[in-house]
């Protein structure tokens, strides 16, 4: 860790692929591992899983309410149940099942929101999940996680399978470079990972937006001599308040970044904590504004709204000017 920022792009896989291969490995040694799908085995990269462990996949068809209800019933018997569906449907169509059957009844289902955020790009708003953090944060007894890279995804799936609590994990389907090769930079739910350290500002990002944040930090250092801390805040709930508190003292400004509406997500979660803890420095939430997104690929949409190396660099420069 330090000012030297290295991004490893070799062998980058989609977090989705890491999820499916990790789940398959876990299933090999544990017959209680189950995937429950809503015609989503293809989009969830679970076809090899289904072929290898046909008794460990429960297909319910395109029916997200029963997907989550059935998963909760299975989990109540001790099955390590992963309910896999596109995040846009999982966090909306089955919202009441998540609230009641999973969280309230404390059935430890792992809800896997695939192709999250604007992964589906030009397919449009029906297929975007820009509401899931906001909606699910208000539900008690649900851990919300957006892993940034392949390492975080593998760790999140492995560790969640061992924790007898409800989880919502979401990720996309584009290849994600490794954020760091520092083996001591471990993954633990509820603890943000500091990927780079700098005194001028902190960029707190979650999920696949950590990567452009790290790229921006590199550019800020190289072209503007601005030193940025970059945090992968993979666990959106419970939020790492200790890290936020120390960052609020250490840096001159804070930017949050998420592939989500600017309403109700990581940014507002950080803002409310910081405001209640006397943080009175420049602060900016970067996400998707309250509008139906511009048409485009995922990359085009994210670039359009400044969730990119250049966009975040520009936001940081604007914010620093306010110092």
**Sheet containing 193-196, strands listed edge to edge, beginning at the edge strand earlier in sequence:** 193-196, 228-232, 201-205, 254-261, 283-288
Comparison of 34 and 214: residue with beta carbon closer to other proteins: 34
CB of 63 vs other proteins, minimal distance in Å: 4
Q: Look at strands 143-145 and 235-237 and give their pairing.
A: antiparallel
Comparison of 64 and 258: residue with beta carbon closer to other proteins: 64
CB of 66 vs other proteins, minimal distance in Å: 4
Comparison of 58 and 320: residue with beta carbon closer to other proteins: 58
Comparison of 81 and 115: residue with beta carbon closer to other proteins: 81
The answer to whether 234 touches 258, Cβ cutoff 8 Å, is no
**Distance from C-alpha of 162 to C-alpha of 31, rounded to nearest angstrom:** 14
Angle between helices 210-224 and 309-321 (to 10 degrees): 60
CB of 57 vs other proteins, minimal distance in Å: 11
Comparison of 30 and 314: residue with beta carbon closer to other proteins: 30
- Only one residue has tokens 């990581």, namely 266
CB of 167 vs other proteins, minimal distance in Å: 17
CB of 131 vs other proteins, minimal distance in Å: 20
Binding site for other proteins (CB under 8 A): 34, 55, 58, 60-61, 63, 65-66, 68-79, 96-97, 100-101, 104-107
Comparison of 14 and 74: residue with beta carbon closer to other proteins: 74
Angle at CA of residue 240, ends 243 and 22, nearest 5°: 120
CB of 49 vs other proteins, minimal distance in Å: 16
């Amino acid at each position: 860790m330090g000012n030297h920022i290295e991004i490893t792009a070799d062998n980058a896989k989609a977090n989705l692929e890491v999820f499916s291969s990790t789940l398959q490995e876990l299933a090999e040694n544990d017959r209680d591992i189950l995937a429950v799908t809503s015609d989503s085995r293809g989009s969830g990269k679970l076809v090899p899983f289904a072929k290898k462990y046909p008794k460990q996949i429960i297909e319910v068809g395109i029916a997200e309410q029963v997907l989550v209800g059935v998963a909760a019933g299975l989990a109540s018997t001790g099955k390590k149940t992963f309910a896999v569906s596109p995040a846009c449907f999982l966090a909306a169509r089955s919202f009441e099942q998540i609230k009641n059957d999973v969280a309230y009844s404390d059935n430890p289902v792992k809800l896997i929101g695939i192709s999250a955020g604007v992964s589906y790009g030009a397919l449009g708003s029906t297929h975007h999940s820009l509401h899931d953090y906001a909606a699910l944060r208000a539900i008690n007894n649900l851990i919300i996680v957006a892993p940034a890279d392949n390492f975080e995804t593998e760790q999140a799936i492995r560790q969640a399978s061992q924790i007898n609590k409800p989880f919502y994990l979401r990720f996309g389907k584009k290849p994600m470079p490794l954020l760091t090769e520092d083996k001591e930079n471990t993954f633990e739910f509820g603890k943000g990972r500091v990927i780079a350290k700098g005194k001028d500002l902190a960029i707190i990002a979650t999920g696949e937006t950590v990567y452009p944040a790290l790229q921006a930090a590199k550019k800020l250092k190289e072209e503007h001599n601005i030193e940025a801390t970059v945090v992968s805040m993979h666990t959106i709930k419970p939020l790492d308040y200790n890290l936020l508190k120390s960052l609020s003292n250490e840096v001159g400004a804070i930017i949050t970044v998420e592939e989500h509406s600017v309403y109700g997500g990581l940014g507002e979660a950080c803002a409310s904590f910081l405001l209640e803890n006397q943080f009175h420095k420049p602060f900016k939430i970067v996400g998707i504004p309250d509008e139906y997104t511009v048409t485009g690929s995922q990359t085009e949409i994210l670039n359009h709204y400044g969730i990119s190396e250049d966009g975040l660099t520009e936001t940081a420069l604007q914010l620093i000017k306010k110092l």
